[in-house]
Amino acid sequence: MVRGKIRSLSVRDVRFPTSREQHGSDAMHTDPDYSAAYVIIETDAADGLKGHGLTFTLGKGTEVVVCAVDALSAHLVGRDLKDIVSNFRDFYRQLTSDGQLRWIGPEKGAIHLATAAVLNAVWDLWAKQEGKPLWKLLADMDPKQLVSCIDFRYITDALTEDEAYEILKNGKLGQKEREEQMLKQGYPAYTTSCAWLGYTDQQLTELCTKALKEGWTRFKVKVGADLPDDIRRCKLIRELIGPNNLMMLDANQRWDVQEAIEWVTKLVAFQPLWIEEPTSPDDILGHATISRALAPLGIGVATGEQCHNRVMFKQFLQAKALQYLQIDSCRLGSVNENLSVMLMAKKFQIPVCPHAGGVGLCELVQHLILFDYICVSGSLENRMCEYVDHLHEHFKHPVVIKNAAYAVPQEPGYSTEMKEESVQQYQFPSGQVWKELTSEEQAKLE
């Protein structure tokens, strides 16, 4: 039962120095420090439960998102949680349509990242109060209640409320069996952790060999900085993983449209399943051009981790600009907006393969992809969820991988709660960046 009035919202800037060992490095983000704007919501309810949410960043700029969260907090503090979740669509619009704040969006950029962090905390608290993991909270909802959480504004030309309801109603058929299947088998995953762009050949070899022994069969390789080096690295990794395992490529927005086509064509010998973010994440028609050019080669286009909102995803789908749709639990407006995108993907028959390369993203997105399979898509064909093995030790209920698959989380909530000692250790001094800290200051944060 939902209860309590929200009495406080706090937000902290948490940063991990992953750039030191090139974890997360790609062609466009060469020195990422995996970071988060970390939100905690407290109520006056006697249960003492708190809502934890976050949005993912790469270090510098997290302080901007923290400011945006503070600006949004006025919409929550003093509100009854029951009033929020019983009319979630209206509350979502209050956050995204603030008459002044929306000018620095709308529904994009730092203000939308902040919206995700806030709403992730609300969903976490709701699930905890119901005593269910987030995926189960969603799966147990009546289709009408789920639909009422979604803002359909701007997407009714692609998906109406009635269509969404019919998809969710049909998804109830076989739901119990799919849920039992997930509990036994888990959701199939692929690894990105073996082939960050900054890794040496020795690291690539050691990590791929280790992953193969652990049962991984799907590998993503970062490309885009240098073509001869990409050819060499892809050849090395294909030889390591063998001809029957899957390889995906990720350029992280490095190329112009024609450059992307020419570059990927030269990598076709390594049998990539997809090229991810081949060009600007905002260039829908450019992605469509690349998709048409690469289709005869059997290579699909994947994108979405930096797709701003449901409207852009609608256009990607309408333009046939992607073959693999990559939702992100912190780029879009939390569960609410991700629901709309998963439902559109179902209508357009495009597989959802979420982005999870970042601190906390695996913890969050596992819930969304479980819900998608159990209640929306009902299919595992061409579907898999990204996994990176960094920083899970800082979470109270870290993601669990078994046999290269996401094990189904059982703890109530959205798996977003970080260990307080980790937050204190890596909470960042306001107004500073890693490169500006002295060695003594860095040591204190570690």
Catalytic residue among 128, 222, 367, 390: 222
Q: How far is CA 357 from the centre of its chain?
A: 7
222 catalytic? Reply is yes
Task: Pick the closest to residue 214 from 190, 234, 195 (CA basis).
Answer: 190
CB-count burial class (<10 Å; 0-12, 13-18, 19+) for 246: middle
- Those residues whose C-beta lies under 8 Å from the C-beta of residue 63, and which sit 6 or more positions away, are 13, 428, 430, 431
Query: H/E/C letters for each residue in the chain?
Result: CCCCEEEEEEEEEEECCHHHHCCCCCCCCCCCCCEEEEEEEEECCCCCCEEEEEEEECCCCHHHHHHHHHHHHHHCCCCEHHHHHHCHHHHHHHHHCCCCHHHHCCCCHHHHHHHHHHHHHHHHHHHHHHCCEHHHHHHHCCHHHHHCCCCCCCCCCCCCHHHHHHHHHHHCCCHHHHHHHHHHHCEEEEECCCCCCCCCHHHHHHHHHHHHHCCCCEEEEECCCCHHHHHHHHHHHHHHHCCCCEEEEECCCCCCHHHHHHHHHCCHHHCEEEEECCCCCCCHHHHHHHHHHHHHHCCEEEECCCCCCHHHHHHHHHCCCCCEECCCCCCCCHHHHHHHHHHHHHHHCCCECCCCCCCCHHHHHHHHHHHHHHHHHCCCCCCCEEECCCCHHHECCCCCEECCEECCCCCCECCCCECHHHHHHHECCCCCCHHHCCHHHHHHHC
- State the pairing for strand pair 35-43/50-57: antiparallel
Beta carbons within 10 angstroms of residue 398's beta carbon: 16
Structure token digits, residue 359: 């601190």
Q: Are 303 and 316 within 8 A, CB to CB?
A: yes
Sign of the dihedral defined by the CA atoms of residues 284, 288, 289, 290, in that order: positive
Backbone angles phi, psi at 37, to 5 degrees: -90, 115
Which listed residue (355, 367, 390, 394) is catalytic? 355
Which residues form the catalytic set? 222, 355
